[in-house]
A and B are shown apart, each in its own frame.
Chain A
Amino acid sequence: MRLKEIQRTAHQAWSPAGHHPIHLALGTSAQQLDASFNTTAALEIFEVDFSDPSLEMQLKGSLPTTNRLHSIVWVNFGMGADGTGGRLVGGSENGTLTVYNPEVIMSARADADAVVGQSDKHTGPIRALDFNPFQSNLLASGANDSEIYIWDLNNFSSPMTPGAKTQPAEDISVVSWNRQVQHILASASPSGKAVVWDLRKNEPIIKISDHSNRMHCSGMLWHPEVATQLVLASEDDRLPVIQMWDLRFATSPLKVLENHTRGILSISWSQADPELLLSSAKDNRILCWNPNTAEVIYELPTANQWCFDVQWCPRNPALLSAASFDGRITVYSVMGGSLKAQQQSTADKISSSFDTMDPFGTGQVLPPLQVPQSTLQDTIVPPLKKPPKWVRRPVGASFAFGGKLITFENPKQAPVQSPQPVPRQVFMSQVTTETEFLQRSRELQAALQSGSFNNYCQAKIQNAKSDAEQDIWKFLLVNFEDEARIKFLRLLGFSKDDLDKKVAHNGHGVDLPRESYLACNHSLCPSFEDTDGLISQALLVGNFEGAVDLCLNDGRYAEAILLSISGGEELLKKTQQKYLSKQKNSISMLISSVVTQNWRDIVQSCELDNWKEALAALLTYAHPEEFARLCDTLGGRLEHEKTEKRCLQACLCYICSGNIEKLVECWASQRESSTPLGLEDLVEKVMMLRKSIERLRNSEVAVQSPILAEKLTCYAGILAAEGSLGTAMTYLPENTDQVRSTFCNPTTKPPKRIGLLHLDCNKYSGSNKQLYAPCPSPGFLPHQPFHQPQPMLIGGPSAFSPPGPPMSAANLSGPPLQPSSSTPGGMPPMPSPGVPPTSFMPTTSIPSGPMPPSSQPGAPVPMYPGGLHSQGPAPPMASGPYVPMGSGYPQGGPGAPAVKPFPAPAVAPPPTGKWSLCIQKVPDNYTPPAPITAPVMGFPVEAPQPHDHAQVPPGAPQEPSVQVGINAHNKCKRLVFVFFPLVSPQLLQQLPAERVEQKEIPAEHMVLKSTFDSLVQRCQLAARDPQTKRKLDDAAKRLGFLYDKLREQSLSHNILNGLHEISRCVASQNYQRGLEVHTQVVSSSNFSEISAFMPILKVVMTIANKLGV
């Protein structure tokens, strides 16, 4: 279809293929005069700009010439790297050959001459011009009298000839360089003879001549790709054909292209597609041939005029220009299209031109141009019938989901008639660019699956690139080991053993509070001199107040405090106050914190440079319930400093507290985690920390953290993009369950591929509701922290009947437990609302109420190294105070004497409020840890009140049956305890063995336990004021020491007898008598033997007496 048009009668030359933008040079034609009969001549250059949809071409430069042209070419020679310039060469009617610089013409510079060379060698009109496609400085020209010259544009003055002139002399109408062999030139004359010259031999090598003698050669072109083939076009109306010759069979044409009805004026062979040959003829048609098949594949819609020159555009293969005798140069596209809009604009253009122009000088205005509208309607120009080569995409590469690359290629040159069909293959490839990332991801995955976390962490420590990195991995490793707290301390530079040694040597000389405390313990041996004697006696009779007073007066604060611990809260508080009011030295604050357990002050006010000490103190003293929060506070302060060092230290704090979310945030704030490897760094740590917590709690840990979800999604995205789809799925945060499920059912809702999840992640991070939308698929457990444990609440604060043994099996084989499921059916432990609240009144199996947080000032200083994060194999929470300590309890933790004064308390999950714990399932590869002291417990979700922390009941059931209990010891607090005995077969097998190892309270002394426990429980039920309750709670714990001693059978006969006597008194509710017996026992026994429990027994009996239970 027509694209551009201009009114000129001219010869045309396209700018070379490398030239940009495309220009068209027009030199006034010598053959005919235009409508104006103007005799001037000019060389004009137009820009063909297709971003301008109009038919106009913009004139870029013009140069008046003295001669009209018979031929013009635009040569690569001298073209700049920027794709501009070159040389225009024009052959004139008088034999002058002129070389122009088109840049000068276009810039219209006055200082430079546009004509860079001129020669009058030819004696007649130069009709033939062609430049060598290999050496752009070589130009061939042909004129009359058989003149052919080869010009070197570098040395323009002396042309050479290809050989002796052919005889008889005749006009040269065409010259053409071979497209494959650079020293071959062909010339043709109107007589129809073509001569092929070899410039190396300087002679003609072959002559082609049609014996019909009717060929009147108007055009000759070499095949663009086949070196031995050329076409000749005949201008003779009697033989309006194109002959295709092959020099190897030069006796007759290979093919004859017949379709034109009158003589052919011009031909042009597309260099972009050899199957496209243009011809224009005196039958007013422009045809496009496939010369290989000799068929016409296209006919251009042309005006009814002869075209004396057609030319393909070298740069844009779909374009051609045609110069017609009616004075138009038209640019066409062979790709078809619609002419409607353009024709309209052309018509407007023409009529407007004529309105203002008076071409004939008549002084009359032309009548309005009648443009028939109907013809404008549907001028749809079809494209070439045969798709040209340049639109046939031969190669392609497309990415697909999962880092796959789909590629195909086609043989560059399709064999002409190959017997073997070309294999048409498509390759599907996996692209992996992050080799190290994948390798490390595989290692992590292997560790996660095999559970060899220790080895993994060890390897990480060894290969750590920085100390900070190494520290982090050491801390992470410790989480997997026993006595984690102690080891944390060691990592912080506080070795208990070393200290113990120092203590042994130096006595009181060490300035750490813990050491002085230890020292006091060690030096406590009764002697009977002066004050010492008095104190001892006071102690032995249970007169704590007296003993403390004695000590204080003597300046023996340590003893005073130590004693007051055993003497009850009030005494202790009083003593502490006295002491602290007197002490004003540098470590008093630390001591104060230790004693009053006000760790919040420490973490909030300590110098950050002393973070190690602060963390060490926390590790040693902080109550498990507070520990995590305190660690986080400390970490938060460190993180707030925003330096890299501090943030890494903060990371250590978060590792100690097990706060994955904060770890991720802190890490991400300091380290690059958007690159694959940076992300891998982070994910490795998170997964290890998570695993250690899971291992500790024996349940899967769900972290509701948008930032972690985002990071994991990115991580999974990279994995997916690298082709590790399976692994990627395992990392996808649960909120993307919808993504997973839509893998199965893509039609229901818009599925997303993992690779696109970044977006979703971002989208959802603002809205938790969306994030944790319930997942309909039972296969996936959504972690829904907001879900209430509905079934349990049905029963309210009453009680549940033990669901019974079948539960354990169900837990193993059935669907994963969903304690947080909102559907009652999904909750295996069914509530029994009908059971009256009293049914859980004191029994032996539920010995006492829950232990309150024992963090009030004045309570004995609990030390928890080996607490929350520490118990290696056995989930420590399972070990209530009444259960004999297994090996999991750190024997001789810091400050622990032979007697264990502070048993590992039952621990709640870190009350950060950001955690939700659900028992999901027993991992298939889960191996029960060795010392099982009680059924493994899981922590259900929190009760509605956010300040309520799920707590562990203090008494662990003796038999591995399911017990669900709700204790209503405090009306405003509803603590929900759920025991899920995740008893695997292996575990069941192990249990008997455990019992053997674990000493039972001898049968004869069991009565002591049951009596005292029930006494405490009765008191708890009856007690009203908080202080009494606290005392009782404390009692429930401290009685554990008694039971420990009973198990160890370390109590003397005397004491045992006394205890049994007390027990009988208690059973008969004769507390007065009991107290008397108590005094007797105390006064007659070794203090160290009884100090752990006798005072509390007295307290309990006093309360019981008061309450009258």
Chain B
Amino acid sequence: MVSVINTVDTSHEDMIHDAQMDYYGTRLATCSSDRTVKIFDVRNGGQILVADLRGHEGPVWQVAWAHPMFGNILASCSYDRKVIIWKEDNGSWDKMYEYTGHESSVNSVCWGPYEFGLILACGSSDGAISLLTFTGDQQWDVKKISNAHTIGCNAVSWAPAVVPGSLIDQPSGQKPNYVKRFVSGGCDNLVKLWKEEDGQWKEDQKLEAHSDWVRDVGWAPSIGLPTSTIASCSQDGRVFIWTCDDPAGNTWTPELLHKFNDVVWHVSWSITGNILAVSGGDNKVTLWKESMDGRWACISDVSKGQGAVSTITDTQQTEQ
């Protein structure tokens, strides 16, 4: 079942582009074409406007909460080419940092796993991806991957801080040697994987399957298995699930989840990584789950936050 437990009336004056809950599920951040970012306290089914953040001069595309160990920090990106990092201090939200290094719309922001500290990846229509690392003392170190995606990067998503394949054999007590990795999708129809080597970001993989803009990418949270999973969705209506069992991370296999009739805007993994929410044109939100035999099936059509959930059956799978 998908049942509405709270309806938040955001009072945004224009289109909402993103809505994200914080780590504990107690606060909701929304952003809109009205150039504002709003934060609501939504505990116990209520909605209290905590902050109305103004600072962007264009539509705000995405918001992202940092891990709470760093405090209450929210990043937002906008068509105005800016990334703003907001921080709550004594109950009031202020700009912590404003990044203006992009030459076009910044379409996506994503915080890295907390193991890496406070690090933010930003993807822009100028084709570049910026990586902002907090170095303390209000200082941010900026690394930029130029021309990561020709004519624009639409989405970035970090890999969980695990070393696939080596998880089980992890020597205990030793700090694992995580490799920073993330995935991006762009207007060149490509999904690209990036990894940091010796402090430099390098293109690790180039995944080709989409025939139009890649609208969103989502690296699934690790569920302790050595497999890495990435979802990508595109203007071409296709959603692909990419998996990699190879410990070196070199062999990625795409599986077509579904071909929708309209653009697919967004993919989001559940915290446990077993359900994928796909949102597309026509305000269509569907939930997908992997069955025991590894096939993906739609388990729910969500409309206005409501929907039934069906169990995966064989008939359903053949229909897919």
A341 and B147 contact, CB distance less than 8 A? yes
A335 touches B172 (CB 8 A): no
In contact, B12 and A424 (Cβ under 8 angstroms): yes
Smallest CB–CB gap between A3 and chain B, Å? 6
B268: A residues at CB distance < 8 A: 396-399
* Residues in B whose Cβ lies below 8 Å from that of A363: none
A408 to B152 Cα, complex, angstroms = 25
The interface residues of chain B, by DSSP majority, are classed as loop
Cα separation A364 to B284 with both chains bound (whole Å): 65
Per the bound structure, the CA–CA distance linking A329 and B1 in Å amounts to 55
Per-position contact with A for B267-278: 1 when CB-CB < 8 Å, else 0?
Answer: 011111011011
Which of B15, B128, B162, B167 is in CB contact (< 8 Å) with A394? B15
Partner of B265, one of A396, A756, A758: A396
Q: How far is the CA of A61 from the CA of B122 in the complex (A)?
A: 39
A720 to chain B minimum Cβ distance, whole angstroms, is: 8
Chain A, residues 383-420, CB within 8 Å of chain B (1/0): the string is 10001000111111111111111111110101000000
A461 near B: Cβ within 8 Å? no
Given contacts A426-B10, A433-B299, contact A397 B278 (CB under 8 A): yes
Contact of A337 among B71, B103, B285 (CB under 8 A): B103
CA distance A885 to B33 in the complex (A): 80
Contact A316 B213 (CB under 8 A): yes
> B211 on the interface (CB 8 Å rule)?
yes
In angstroms, Cα B14 to Cα A423, docked, is: 9
**Partner among B32, B172, B206, B277 whose Cβ is within 8 Å of the Cβ of A424:** B32
A53-B147, A403-B270, A408-B16 given as contacts; is B104 within 8 A of A433 (CB)? no
* Residue in contact with A407 in the complex, picked from B58, B224, B279, B311, CB distance below 8 Å: B279
What band does the interface of chain A fall in when counting residues whose beta carbon is under 8 Å from B? 35 or more
Contact A409 B309 (CB under 8 A): no
Asked if B306 CB lies within 8 Å of chain A CBs, one says: yes
Contact of B79 among A333, A387, A767 (CB under 8 A): A387
User: Does chain A have a CB within 8 A of B67?
Assistant: yes
CB-defined contacts of A605 to chain B, threshold 8 Å:
none
Interface pair A753/B281, CB less than 8 Å apart: no
A1087–B146 alpha-carbon span in the complex (Å): 103
| A729-754 interface code vs B (CB 8 A; 1 in, 0 out) | 00000000000000100111111010
- Please give the distance in Å from B22's CB to the nearest CB on chain A: 8
B133 at the interface (CB under 8 A from A): no
* Cα A821 to Cα B167 with chains together (Å): 34
- Name the A residues within 8 Å of B173 (CB-CB): 767, 770
Is B170 engaged at the interface, CB distance under 8 Å to the other chain? yes
Do B105 and A401 touch (CB < 8 A)?
no
B162:A746 contact, CB within 8 angstroms: no
With a CB–CB cut-off of 8 A, which chain A residues contact B87? none
Is there contact, CB below 8 Å, between A424 and B170?
Answer: no
Among A391, A410, A753, A766, point to the contact of B125 (Cβ < 8 A): A391
Q: Which residue of A lies closest to B24 (CB)?
A: A401
Cα A336 to Cα B14 in complex, Å, equals: 24
**CB of B42 within 8 Å of the partner chain:** yes
**B277 and A405 within 8 A (CB):** yes
- CB proximity of A23 to chain B, nearest CB, Å: 13
Tell me which of A381, A428, A431, A747 contacts B275 (CB under 8 A).
A431
Given A721-B271, A750-B69: A433 in contact with B19 (beta carbons within 8 A): no
Chain B CB within 8 A of A717 CB:
yes
CB of B151 within 8 A of CB of A319, answer yes
Q: Is A315 an interface residue (CB 8 A)?
A: yes
Give the contacting residue for B305; candidates A336, A429, A755; CB below 8 A: A429
> Does the CB pair B167–A387 fall under 8 Å?
no
Which B residues touch A336, using CB under 8 A?
103-105, 125-126
Say yes or no for A762: interface residue by CB 8 A criterion: yes
B30 shortest CB reach to chain A, Å: 6
Contact of A383 among B33, B79, B206, B281 (CB under 8 A): B79
Q: Is the CB of A429 within 8 A of B306?
A: yes
* CB-based contact A393/B17 at 8 Å: yes
Contact across chains for B107 and A391 when beta carbons are under 8 A apart: yes
Interface size class of B (residues with CB under 8 A): 35 or more
- Name B169's closest neighbour in chain A (CB-CB): A766
**Quick one: closest B residue to A83, CB to CB?**
B211
Cβ contact within 8 Å between B147 and A412: no
Max chain B C-beta neighbours (<10 A), residue from A52, A398, A403, A751: A398
Beta-carbon contact of A383 and B125 below 8 Å: yes
| B-chain residues with CB within 8 Å of residue A766 when the two chains form the complex | 170, 172
CA distance A398 to B267 in the complex (A): 8
Contact pick for B211, options A21, A387, A759, CB 8 Å: A21
Q: Is B248 an interface residue (CB 8 A)?
A: no
Question: Taking the complex as formed, is A229 at the interface, i.e. its CB lies under 8 A from any CB of chain B?
Answer: no
Contact of A435 among B1, B168, B208, B266 (CB under 8 A): B1
**How many angstroms between the C-alpha atoms of A458 and B105 in the bound complex?**
64
* Interface status of A675 (Cβ within 8 A of chain B): yes
How many angstroms from the CA of A380 to the CA of B128 in the assembled complex? 13
Give the shortest distance, in Å, between A411 (CB) and chain B (any CB).
Answer: 8
Question: B28 at the A/B interface (Cβ < 8 Å)?
Answer: yes
**Is A36 engaged at the interface, CB distance under 8 Å to the other chain?**
no
Closest to A672 in B: B292
A-contact bits for B258-302, CB 8 A (1 contact / 0 none): 000000011011111011011111111101010010000001101
Closest partner residue, chain A, to B59 (CB atom): A387
Smallest CB-CB separation from A725: which chain B residue?
A: B25
A427 within 8 A of B: yes
Take A395-B285, A407-B305 as given contacts and tell me if A755 and B272 are in contact as well, using a CB distance cutoff of 8 Å. yes
Q: Is the CB of B7 within 8 A of A425?
A: yes
Specify the chain B residue showing the minimal Cβ separation from A335: B125
Distance in angstroms from B40 CB to nearest chain A CB is 8
Given contacts A83-B211, A431-B270, contact A395 B284 (CB under 8 A): yes
CB of A424 within 8 A of CB of B2, answer no
Chain B residue nearest to A403 (CB atoms) is B270
CB-based contact A395/B223 at 8 Å: no
Partner of A396, one of B3, B17, B28: B17
Chain B residues contacting A761 (CB-CB under 8 Å) are 224
- Per-residue CB contact flags for chain B residues 119-146 toward chain A (1 = under 8 Å, else 0) read 0000001111000000000000000001
Q: Is the Cβ of B8 less than 8 Å from the Cβ of A767?
A: no
Interface string of B203-247 (1 = CB under 8 A from A): 000101001110000000111100000000000100000000000
A191 contacts chain B at the CB level, 8 A cutoff? no
When distances are taken between beta carbons in the complex, the residues of chain A under 8 Å from B167 are: 759, 762
Contact assessment for B103 and A382 in the assembled complex, using a CB-CB cutoff below 8 Å:
yes
* Contact partner, B309, options A432, A749, A762, Cβ 8 Å: A432
Question: Nearest residue in A to B69 (C-beta to C-beta)?
Answer: A750
Chain A residues near B7 (CB-CB < 8 A): 425-428
> Is the pair B224, A758 in contact by a Cβ cutoff of 8 Å?
yes
Decide: A392 and B19 in contact? CB cutoff 8 A. no
Q: Which of B150, B212, B265 contacts A51 (CB 8 A)?
A: B150
Are the CB atoms of B289 and A428 closer together than 8 Å? no
A787: interface (CB < 8 Å): no
Question: Chain A's nearest CB lies how many Å from the CB of B119?
Answer: 14
CA distance in complex: A610, B3 (Å): 54
Is B150 in contact with A53, judged by CB distance below 8 angstroms? Answer: yes
A409, A435, A770: the one contacting B304 at CB < 8 Å is A409
Is the Cβ of B33 less than 8 Å from the Cβ of A425? no
B68 lies within 8 A of A393 (CB)? no
Q: For A244, list chain B residues within 8 Å (CB).
A: none
Taking CB atoms, residues of chain B closer than 8 Å to A743 are 24
> Is A338 at the interface (CB under 8 A from chain B)?
yes
B32 — nearest CB in chain A belongs to which residue? A424
Q: Is B178 in contact with chain A by the CB < 8 A criterion?
A: no
- Tell me, in angstroms, the Cα distance from A975 to B260 when the chains sit together: 72
A-B contact pairs, 9 of them (CB 8 A): A335-B105, A393-B265, A397-B268, A406-B20, A424-B13, A424-B16, A429-B2, A430-B5, A750-B69
**Known contacts A83-B211, A403-B271; 17 further A-B pairs (Cβ under 8 A):** A316-B212, A336-B125, A337-B104, A338-B103, A394-B15, A396-B268, A397-B279, A399-B271, A401-B23, A406-B19, A425-B7, A426-B19, A427-B304, A428-B21, A431-B2, A431-B300, A432-B3
The 10 closest A-B pairs by CB, nearest first: A427-B305, A400-B21, A409-B283, A755-B271, A336-B104, A20-B211, A50-B150, A766-B172, A337-B126, A401-B25
